[in-house]
Amino acid sequence: MDQANSQSYDEFEGYWKNTEIIKMYEGPLPTFCDIKLPYVAIIPKESQNPNVVILGDIVIGASQIDLPKGYGDRKNIAPKEIYFKMRRDFYINKNAKMGRNPLTTGNLIEKCLKSINSIDGNEVGLIKISCEEGLVAGLRRYADNLMENSYEINSTELVEELVKEGILSIDWLL
């Protein structure tokens, strides 16, 4: 890893903790496909500089499962043999637009909450990130919260699909 272009874990964690999620996508994440979600990130102004405003999107990948070796030759696998990977892949699209806004941070947040509801049919997340260096950590925190809020629905859909396909034993449900 190139030390000049990397953050230490402590720096990343600090940025992650200092991120404030003001408005989040409210729906469940689809279980079996990727989803692209728009966001507005506000980085509060430093001294006389205006706030930085970033409009972009993140992609959260489909849920993944790991089945035990040889599952194709078996039916009715026990649930404890399956590993559910709910920590889904997360990508930041590089097509973000960045600008500056002279409003106070509070007024800018209020304006965004009133004026930006959805883009391409998806709710827009609103995130306040402490500084530009914390953008990746802030977006990671946003994605982590989305995945956590959708975990129960996604794991239920995965189990239902595995039972339907005859891969998962139905006995444990009885």
User: With bands split at pLDDT 50, 70 and 90, how would you rate the model's confidence at 25?
Assistant: very high
pLDDT digits (tens, 9 = 90+) for 99-136: 999 998 999 999 999 998 888 888 999 999 999 999 99
Question: How do 125-128 and 35-43 pair as beta strands?
Answer: parallel
Asked which of 12-21, 26-35, 78-87, 154-163 is least confident by mean pLDDT, the reply is: 78-87
Q: What share of residues in the chain are helix, strand, coil (percent, to 5)?
A: 35, 25, 35
What is the greatest pairwise CA distance in the chain?
Answer: 67
CA distance 80 to 82: 5
Write down the domain spans for the chain: 3-173
Please name the residue ranges forming H helices in 133-173: 135-164
Q: What is the pLDDT of residue 3?
A: 40
Write out the two tokens for 117: 């509801």
Q: What is the pTM of this model?
A: 0.80
Average pLDDT, the chain: 84
Task: Give the Cα separation of 22 and 28 in Å (integer).
Answer: 18
Please give the Cα distance from 164 to 80 (Å, whole number). Answer: 18
Question: H helices of 18-134, where?
Answer: 105-115
Q: What is the pLDDT of residues 131-169, one digit of tens each?
A: 999 999 999 999 999 988 888 888 888 878 877 877 666
Please answer whether residues 134 and 92 qualify as being in contact, where contact means their C-beta atoms are separated by less than 8 angstroms. no
For 61-113, write each residue's pLDDT tens digit.
Answer: 988 777 667 666 666 666 666 666 556 888 999 899 999 999 989 999 999 99
21 vs 25, 46, 167, CA distance in Å?
10, 20, 39
Residue type, 18: N
Residue 147 token pair: 């995945």
pLDDT of residue 174: 46
Q: Is 4's pLDDT higher than 50? A: no
**pLDDT attached to residue 49:** 80
